[in-house]
Chains A and B, each alone.
Chain A
């Protein structure tokens, strides 16, 4: 049967004044992305100055937490982990880890959902993803 990866405790991030809201939202279980109030374009990682348009302000908005795997790699480190880019339902592709999974069962395009994993700073969780529960056809896969 499937062999799930053992949990890995990621290093804590070092927030800066422009990203404090992002990491505080993570403590509340929300993943923020940047959205231009004028053009509506969204970006990630979120930053106060829109990387696309000269006009408009940036607001940080919560992503749905749904996405699919754009690419992934099973890192054969002392504590193995899966690093990936996940394409968020909102569009941006985000570097992340795929956790609580069997690396051999992953594939590009696999639906994933947002989870939060405690870091070396137990008060600071990190947004990651795990395979989304598939419907009844799972048993026949």
Chain B
């Protein structure tokens, strides 16, 4: 059984806040929920499936279901694979819809790490000592930024990738962010500015990192029969894949990501190839994240990512593969330290033809959204969606 053509994204909403000092996390979840339902032309009374992840305060979905006021649920799922959760939720929602377990699925993400003053990338986190890896990582100062730096260093060693090539990814994101009035970093940057920005975790500079922001987003997924009765363009889920990659008992390999598996599964289900994709939302916690995933998704050969991203190849209008046209996590926002839902939202905008005119991809009828959650340097979830405009 396949989910191809079994479910559609009919509502997408991105919270405009980048700093939400006077709002609670639960409030942000409720605001994005209503925003996505309004976008779809639906209401809370229509929702019978709810999906959230670890950013939702409370036990699994329970507190959010109560707080938002969802009374007709017959299906919930709080699978947490970090920032990739929300792409996986779209796939799981499609599965539940295909099986008749729900008709209208709501997915929410929200958080306020910026208001909380969180040093997201640089502060080692002690975590729960019952997590078996913590005692073998926390004493060494493992933090988000240096784990991705290990991936970058190894890629440079094996394939000759350069800091300048990585910088092109930030440059492309900034070209898109200049048109997004909500983006945190709207200034165009150059390769030189990226490589001359302060070193955070060698070889990653400050401008190789994503922003830290508050905010959130939500999606509404439903069956095609319902989608076609609504007033919004129909964005169909054509294929999906998920994977978990880890340290493999010490047989760790930092040169590839779980996208190798989740991407292949999504393309197979969709019956398309990377060459068919008109627009790609690629998880961008760091520049190296994008480069590794582009290779593993098959947009270029392994090791060729540096050459692929250079010279503006990811810039809409000039490059071969327009990516993250909202500015992505690198320039726009990274709500709750999880960039998954905004990846889907911008793909939906592109497929609807509702992206900013300066970055809208002409005749965008097939898009990919890919997320990573956790850490490429240790263990992570991967989720890939192939989305299509009907």
Contacts and interface: CB of A to CB of B under 8 A. Distances in A.
B201 A74 contact: yes
Interface string B103-146: 00000000000000000001010100110111111111111011
Contacts of B139: 10-13, 119, 126
Given A11-B126, A51-B248, A103-B202, A97 B140 contact: yes
| Range for the number of chain B residues in contact with chain A | 35 or more
B250 A76 contact: no
Interface stretch (B150-158, B164-172, B275-283, B318-326): B150-158
B202 A76 contact: yes
B249 interface: yes
A45 B133 CA distance: 8
Interface string A80-121: 010111001001111111000001000011000000000100
B149 interface: yes
B198 interface: yes
A13 B138 contact: yes
A83 B141 contact: yes
Most buried by A among B129, B150, B254: B150
Interface of B: 122, 124, 126, 129-130, 132-143, 145-146, 149-151, 153-154, 157, 198-204, 247-252, 254, 378
A51 B135 contact: no
Contacts of B140: 10, 83, 95-97, 126, 128
Interface string A46-68: 01000110000000000000000
Given A13-B138, A15-B135, A45-B133, A92 B154 contact: no
A81 B146 CA distance: 10
A108 B142 contact: no
A130 interface: no
A47 B132 CA distance: 9
A13 B135 contact: yes
A103 B122 CA distance: 18
